[in-house]
């Protein structure tokens, strides 16, 4: 936890990791093929910890999450890398094993609960489904468990609510149902893809509170995909910053917020409105994430970076700058730039 740069070469990273993603590269095939949609993504989720995957839209966060769940769209192909969950490589394990893991040891919560819940199935049946598939429970037992789960996620009058349909519930309730369904299979890891994005701010806080309680009580590890830095600061232990298909920085949340070691992270932090900086212009990052297929060589952030140098056109190596703190900025690694919020 100390900020002292002790780590030297050895990778204690993967020991005790529940999930470890190594060198994940995804290509878009068909139509106009685009290689390197996601390239060389590496990170780990330790047991019981919460890791955030952040970045602007179109950075490959959701694709990475879908790759973990084995739910990539047909047009996206895994080129290389491995995704090891509790000793099993999810990319090579075959569909049968993948089905055993999905909904069982790995649960998933998606954004927009309205469209992510089946409109023609009662919420009770949807929550009970994982119990029936993974524990081969009968209708009645699974229903009883579903009722307990609804209770657990804080839905009042659970027994009656079992027979409701999603459209009869509010957005916040629907997301609670999604969470109940995700934890029904007694997972060790929950992949949450922007679980609060489609919700009102007050409801967002409630949902995060619920996730935090569940994490504590069930010892869940959470991979949280989000672009909301407030959520990250509030909820996560570690953060993985993605830009245009690259992981540009990963670090414990405190370090990433205090001493960001990549200009992109620093720029992201700078673009959050802060109450102590009221009445000052909000900083924004100029330009936008390039569309897949037109990524620049070397550092993919360089066209938008304030510190671009000729060396940025070279491939940027992954460098350790602190305990568990990695950056993909060559200039920071070489000491030309100092990590920090002024980066």
Partner 1 sequence: MVEQYLRWCGDLLRGDLGDSLFTGRSVTETIAQAAPATLSITGLAIVIAVVVGVGAGLVAGLRQGSWVDRTVSTAATLGIAMPSFWVAMLLISAFALSNRWLPATGYAPLSEGLWPWLSHLILPATALGLATAAELARHTRGCVADVLVRPYIRTARARGAAGFWLVRRHLLRNAAIPVVTVLGLQAGRLLGGAIVVEVVAGITGLGTTAINAVLQRDYPMIQGYVLFSAVIVVLVNLAVDLAYGWINPKVRTA
Nearest CB to partner 1, comparing residues 191 and 285: 191
Q: What are phi and psi of 134, to 5 degrees?
A: -95, -25
For residue 10, state whether it binds partner 1 (rule: CB under 8 A). Answer: no
* Interface with partner 1, residue 116, by CB under 8 A: yes
Closest approach, Cβ 15 to partner 1, in A, equals 28
> Residue 137, interface with partner 1 (CB under 8 A)?
no
Region from 35-43, 118-126, 241-249, 264-272 binding partner 1, contact rule CB under 8 A: 118-126
Give CA–CA dist 334/293, Å, rounded: 29
Please pick, from the candidates 17, 19, 53, 117, the single residue that binds partner 1 as defined by CB under 8 A. 117
Half-sphere CA count of 48, side-chain side, radius 13 A? 6
Asked if 82 touches partner 1 (CB under 8 A), the answer is no
Angle at CA 319, nearest 5°, toward 233 and 56? 40
Contact residue for partner 1 among 49, 61, 102, 328 (CB under 8 A):
102
169 counts as binding partner 1 under rule CB under 8 A = no
Query: What SS3 class is residue 99?
Result: helix
**248 in Cβ contact with 327 (< 8 Å):** yes
The residues pairing with 242 across neighbouring beta strands, listed in sequence order, are 247
Q: Total residues contacting partner 1 (rule CB under 8 A)? A: 31
Q: Between 7 and 72, name the residue whose CB sits nearer to partner 1.
A: 72
Q: How far is CA 96 from CA 6, 30, 83, in A?
A: 42, 26, 16
What φ, ψ does residue 28 adopt, rounded to 5°?
-90, 125
Q: Where on the chain is the footprint of partner 1 (CB under 8 A)?
A: 69, 71, 95, 99-100, 102-104, 107-108, 110, 112, 115-121, 125, 129-130, 133-134, 165, 167-168, 178, 181, 184-185
């Amino acid at each position: 936890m100390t900020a002292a740069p002790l780590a030297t070469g050895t990778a204690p990273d993967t020991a005790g990791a529940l999930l470890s993603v190594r060198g994940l590269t995804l290509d878009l095939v068909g139509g106009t093929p685009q290689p390197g949609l996601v390239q060389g993504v590496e990170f780990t989720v330790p047991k019981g910890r919460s890791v955030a995957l952040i970045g602007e839209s179109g950075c490959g966060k959701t694709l990475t999450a879908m790759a973990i769940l084995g739910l990539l769209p047909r047009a996206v192909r895994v080129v290389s890398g491995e995704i090891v969950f509790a000793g099993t490589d999810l990319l090579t394990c075959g569909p049968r094993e993948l089905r055993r893991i999905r909904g069982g040891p790995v649960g998933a919560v998606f954004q927009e609960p309205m469209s992510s819940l089946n409109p023609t199935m009662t919420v009770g049946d949807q929550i009970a489904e994982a119990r029936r598939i993974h524990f081969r429970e009968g209708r009645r037992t699974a229903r009883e468990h579903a009722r307990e789960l609804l209770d657990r996620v804080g839905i009042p009058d659970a027994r009656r609510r079992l027979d409701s349909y999603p459209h009869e519930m509010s957005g916040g309730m629907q997301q609670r149902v999604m969470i109940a369904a995700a934890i029904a299979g007694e997972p060790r890891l929950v992949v949450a893809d922007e679980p609060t994005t489609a919700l009102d701010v007050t409801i967002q806080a409630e949902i995060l509170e619920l996730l935090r309680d569940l994490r504590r009580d069930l010892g869940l590890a959470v991979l949280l995909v989000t672009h909301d830095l407030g959520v990250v600061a509030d909820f996560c232990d570690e953060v993985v910053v993605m830009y245009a298909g690259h992981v540009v920085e990963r670090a414990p949340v405190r370090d990433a917020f205090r001493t960001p070691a990549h200009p992109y992270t620093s720029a992201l932090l700078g673009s959050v409105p802060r109450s102590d900086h009221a009445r000052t212009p909000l900083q924004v990052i100029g330009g936008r994430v390039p569309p897949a297929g037109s990524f620049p060589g070397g550092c993919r952030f360089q066209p938008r970076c304030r510190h671009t140098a000729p060396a940025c056109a070279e491939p940027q190596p992954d460098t350790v700058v602190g305990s568990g703190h990695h950056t993909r900025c060559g200039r920071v690694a070489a000491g030309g730039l100092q990590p920090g919020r002024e980066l």
